[in-house]
Amino acid sequence: MSLCPNVFSKRVTQLLVGIVVSSPLWLAACNDSHTQTNPVVAETTDLSVFEGCYTVSSDEPAQIKVSQQDGSWVMQMKEPASAKRVWDNPEPLEMIENSEIPQFFSIDPDNVDAVIGRPDRVLVLAHVKPVYANIDPLLDSEYLSHIYRGANTIYRVECDEVNTDILANPHANIVIDNVNESI
């Protein structure tokens, strides 16, 4: 069976036009370079893992408090007793994308649940997935902190209302009178 050259030419032309017209759609569907962020990741990131108090050694009083106030995440630092209050004014925190993790920590971003930090990035906190924290011998806490230019593990501890002299030797366990009791 043979096709007439005119009919064959017409069908080949239709096929080629169909390929040319639909190929941009195929290419667009296969393009992996999306410029927008994945909104599902941002919506499912649970920043409540940061709510609480932290210190650099598990046997010391709290030095940093992270809480949610008026729908926003904030951090506060302990004040010396001379300030007549326990915590300083709240500073805003914001969620940080996992793609920024290598700027602050030498950990695979896939092993981190959430990252939060000050807008100026002077303080950044990361919550390591518990499974990873249990198998990495360099981690003895699920929390990492990046303060100014140094990174370290930090410990989540009970919040307290006792002033500490954080400028003194941090391992001396110096506790100053509770501000609320001295008033």
Does residue 42 lie in a domain region?
A: no
Task: Give how many domains the chain has, as a whole number.
Answer: 1
3-class state of residue 9 by DSSP: helix
Average of per-residue pLDDT across 66-79: 94
The residue with tokens 């009919």 is 7
Query: Domain range spanning residue 110?
Result: 48-157
Residue 167's pLDDT is what? 61
Asked which of 25-29, 61-65, 121-125 is least confident by mean pLDDT, the reply is 25-29
Q: Is 29 exposed, middle or buried (CB count within 10 Å of its CB: 0-12, 13-18, 19+)?
A: exposed
Question: How far is residue 6 from each of residues 2, 11, 112, measured CA to CA in Å?
Answer: 12, 9, 64
Structure tokens at 148: 């100014």
pLDDT at 126 over 80: yes
pLDDT digits (tens, 9 = 90+) for 128-151: 999 999 999 888 899 999 987 788
Does residue 164 lie in a domain region?
A: no
Does residue 37 lie in a domain region?
A: no
Residue 149's pLDDT is what? 75
Extract the runs of DSSP E, i.e. beta strands, from the chain: 52-55, 64-69, 72-77, 91-92, 94-95, 112-117, 123-128, 143-147, 150-157
3/79: higher pLDDT? 79
pLDDT digits (tens, 9 = 90+) for 108-122: 999 999 999 999 999
Does residue 100 lie in a domain region?
A: yes
Q: Rounded to whole angstroms, how far apart are CA atoms 23 and 29?
A: 10
Return mean pLDDT, the chain. Answer: 77
